[in-house]
Amino acid sequence: MLVVLKKWFTDTCPVCQERLQAESDFACTTKSCPQGHYREEAYCTLGVRVTYKALK
Ligand SMILES: [Zn+2]
Protein backbone atom coordinates (compact mmCIF):
# COMPACT_ATOMS: atom_id res chain seq x y z
CA MET A 1 0.00 0.00 0.00
CA LEU A 2 2.77 2.39 0.90
CA VAL A 3 4.52 1.55 -2.33
CA VAL A 4 1.39 2.38 -4.32
CA LEU A 5 0.90 5.70 -2.57
CA LYS A 6 4.51 6.63 -3.00
CA LYS A 7 4.30 5.82 -6.69
CA TRP A 8 1.28 8.05 -7.16
CA PHE A 9 2.99 11.01 -5.56
CA THR A 10 6.39 10.62 -7.11
CA ASP A 11 7.20 13.45 -9.47
CA THR A 12 9.43 11.54 -11.81
CA CYS A 13 9.10 10.51 -15.42
CA PRO A 14 7.88 6.91 -15.77
CA VAL A 15 10.16 6.48 -18.77
CA CYS A 16 13.53 7.94 -17.85
CA GLN A 17 13.06 8.61 -14.10
CA GLU A 18 14.08 12.24 -14.51
CA ARG A 19 12.49 14.58 -12.05
CA LEU A 20 9.49 16.34 -13.58
CA GLN A 21 9.59 20.08 -14.00
CA ALA A 22 6.57 21.74 -12.44
CA GLU A 23 4.99 25.00 -13.44
CA SER A 24 1.83 26.47 -12.01
CA ASP A 25 -0.37 29.50 -12.21
CA PHE A 26 -3.78 30.38 -10.81
CA ALA A 27 -5.67 27.91 -12.98
CA CYS A 28 -3.31 25.16 -13.97
CA THR A 29 -0.41 23.08 -12.73
CA THR A 30 1.81 21.43 -15.29
CA LYS A 31 4.43 18.78 -14.69
CA SER A 32 6.57 17.59 -17.53
CA CYS A 33 9.61 15.48 -18.25
CA PRO A 34 12.56 17.56 -19.45
CA GLN A 35 13.04 14.94 -22.18
CA GLY A 36 9.43 15.20 -23.33
CA HIS A 37 8.38 11.67 -22.34
CA TYR A 38 5.57 12.60 -20.04
CA ARG A 39 3.34 15.55 -19.29
CA GLU A 40 0.61 16.10 -16.74
CA GLU A 41 -1.73 19.08 -16.54
CA ALA A 42 -4.07 19.67 -13.63
CA TYR A 43 -6.73 22.35 -13.93
CA CYS A 44 -7.78 23.06 -10.37
CA THR A 45 -10.67 25.32 -11.26
CA LEU A 46 -12.20 22.75 -13.61
CA GLY A 47 -11.31 19.67 -11.57
CA VAL A 48 -9.74 18.22 -14.68
CA ARG A 49 -6.48 16.36 -14.91
CA VAL A 50 -4.87 15.53 -18.23
CA THR A 51 -1.96 13.15 -18.65
CA TYR A 52 0.16 12.75 -21.74
CA LYS A 53 2.47 9.79 -22.03
CA ALA A 54 5.22 8.96 -24.43
CA LEU A 55 4.03 7.49 -27.68
CA LYS A 56 7.09 5.35 -28.17
ZN1 LIG B 1 11.39 11.18 -19.38
Centre of ligand 1 from the C-alpha of residue 40, in Å: 12
Report pLDDT for 53. Answer: 82
Beta strands in 1-56 (DSSP E): 21-24, 28-32, 39-43, 48-52
Residue 48 is part of which domain span? 2-52
32 SS3 class: strand
Domain tally, the chain: 1
Per residue in 2-52, pLDDT tens?
565 555 556 888 889 999 999 988 888 899 999 999 998 998 788 888 888
Report pLDDT for 36. Answer: 93
Report pLDDT for 26. Answer: 84
Question: Global pTM?
Answer: 0.66
Centre of ligand 1 from the C-alpha of residue 3, in Å: 21
